[in-house]
Amino acid sequence: MKRLLLTAGLIQALCVGEPVQAATCSCAGAPVLIYLDTTAVEKGQFFLSYTAEDHQINDLVSGSQDVPDETGRDRSTFSHVLSASYALSDYWSISALTSYVEHERKIGSSFFPKARSSGMGDSVILLRYTPFFITPFRRHELSFGAGVRAPTGENEAADFFILSEDMQPGTGAWGGIAWASYSYAFNQAATVQFHASANYLHNGENDRKYTLGREYNLASGFSHSLNSRFGYSALLRYRQSDPDRRFGFELPNTGGEWLDFVPAVRYSFTDRFSAALSGRIPIWRDLNGALQFTTSYSWAVSLRYGFR
Amino acid sequence: MVSVRYFLLTLIFCFSPLSAADGTAPILEGDDVFSGRAVRLSDYRDKVVLVDFWASWCPPCLESLPAWEALRQELGPRGFEVIAVNVDENTSDGLDFLRERRVRYPVLADPEGRIGIPWGIRTLPRYFLVDTQGNIVSDHRRFRSRDVEGLRSEILELLHSKTH
């Protein structure tokens, strides 16, 4: 009860690039992993959560420099993510999520000023092993996880033509995930905790011969439960993504490095039902190529219900 | 498409509910923090026992202590007992609370988890109902005052089956 249930944000979102060589868009994909519930659970516990995220992708960046955008562009992704976790035992648990994604892009000076797509996004299933966890008698928690991202989403959405990869609700490719996290409780009630995590995402090739870049993520931060109702957390998240590939060739203006600040607040209505509000604010980035559109900010609302 | 189907089937299989089996209560023994008297769960084989793990930093736990005291006063003569295990790292924190709201049932101190770890304590509140044979018959992870009536019925049922 005393433990802040906000470790979900320790895994970075999938990154979907665009297969053209102009100013492309990084991190435009649905947040398939970021809202995966990775909270340690006791045997028999079941958690369900729903998250809605608004992701604005309008910053134009050259390397690490912001560039004024004069195209009148407006690019956003709205995602609905449903996730579930079940503890098979005190040490083993399984988490899964699926998503529904809505993309929208407006370009003022373009012949096709508006593009929209929506549909089922990809799904993820993750098996987690927690050899030791925080209890009233232990301050440390360590978890390892491995899983797959399944191409359950639509990836042939079209306007006049098939839309670019970053406008597709799904990636169309399988992916593999390896993940580890560590938490330390500063007091016996575990109301103040330090969190650190690392994960790796390997992306396969889809049927249009497009491969998203491999991703490496590191995150660390603190969470604090003020009482049984209110809590907050603050994380720093670093992400490095390799360039995307088409037919095995690297695409310029895709991939790079990002450092984001991820604040979140949580309110528990009961000991089973809680809501959280979180954001993602870019601090620094150094992106590949001459120009890339990337995250301006994102915010999300989550509802979570747990039972046995 | 076939692989997507296998993925979904795997998902359904993995989320099928598993049953949680109750079993024999682990060893519970120590000294009562007030009287110094040795307390062993195995000495209560003829009684229905509520084993309550609590700490001073757990508000629902503090709320539950007077409720257990009231249950014990009512049902004690019929064969019901409470054994509380305080898990505060500094046992004095728990004792300070008990000095203000005295309970008559035995309270053991377990700052290092000698008792709590074998009982699988990960979060608080946590309390168990143990029957006259030493078996855990119910395991509770939350306390709300409105749940006490249900627990009372459960105890009465166990006491009734003890006498028949």
Task: Delimit the domains of chain A by residue range.
Answer: 8-307
What structural domains does chain B harbor? Answer: 29-163 (3.40.30.10)
Distance from CA of A9 to the nearest CA of B (A): 22
| Pairing between β-strand B48-54 and β-strand B80-86 as defined by DSSP bridges | parallel
State the pLDDT at residue A27. Answer: 39
Neighbours of A140 (CB within 10 A): 12
Among candidates B15, B20, B87 on the partner chain, residue whose Cβ is nearest the Cβ of A84: B15
Band (B12; pLDDT cuts 50, 70, 90)? very low
* pLDDT (tens digit per residue) in A100-111: 999 998 877 666
Question: Is B104 buried (19+), middle (13-18) or exposed (0-12) by CB count in 10 A?
Answer: exposed
Query: Which two tokens mark B3?
Result: 């692989």
Q: Cis (ω within 30 of 0) for the bond into B125? A: yes
**Considering only CB atoms, which chain B residues are within 8 Å of A133?**
122
> Do A46 and A307 meet the contact criterion of CB atoms below 8 Å apart?
yes
What is the predicted ipTM?
0.83
Per-residue pLDDT at B143 exceeds 50: yes
Most confident of A233-237, B20-24, B98-102: A233-237
* pTM for this predicted structure: 0.83
B123/A86 CB distance under 8 A? no
Query: Which is nearest to A154 in space by CA: B147, B110, B4, B162?
Result: B4
State the pLDDT at residue A110. Answer: 63
What average pLDDT does this structure show over B147-152? 94
Secondary structure of residue A280 in the 3-state scheme = strand
Task: List Cβ neighbours of A159 (8 Å cut-off, separation of 6 or more).
Answer: A112, A115, A116, A117
Per-residue pLDDT at B20 exceeds 60: no
State the pLDDT at residue A307. Answer: 85
Instruction: Give yes or no for B112 touching A (CB within 8 A).
Output: yes
State the pLDDT at residue B164. Answer: 65
State the pLDDT at residue B2. Answer: 44
State the pLDDT at residue A112. Answer: 66
Query: Which is nearest to B158 in space by CA: B47, B67, B82?
Result: B47
- Select the residue from B5, B123, B141, B144 to test the A interface by mutation, using most A Cβ atoms within 10 A: B123
Distance from CA of A1 to the nearest CA of B (A): 7
CATH number of this structure's domain A8-307: 2.40.128.130
**Count of CA atoms in the C-beta half-sphere (13 A) of A291:** 11
Per-residue pLDDT at B10 exceeds 50: no
Q: Which residues of chain A have pLDDT under 70?
A: 1-40, 109-112
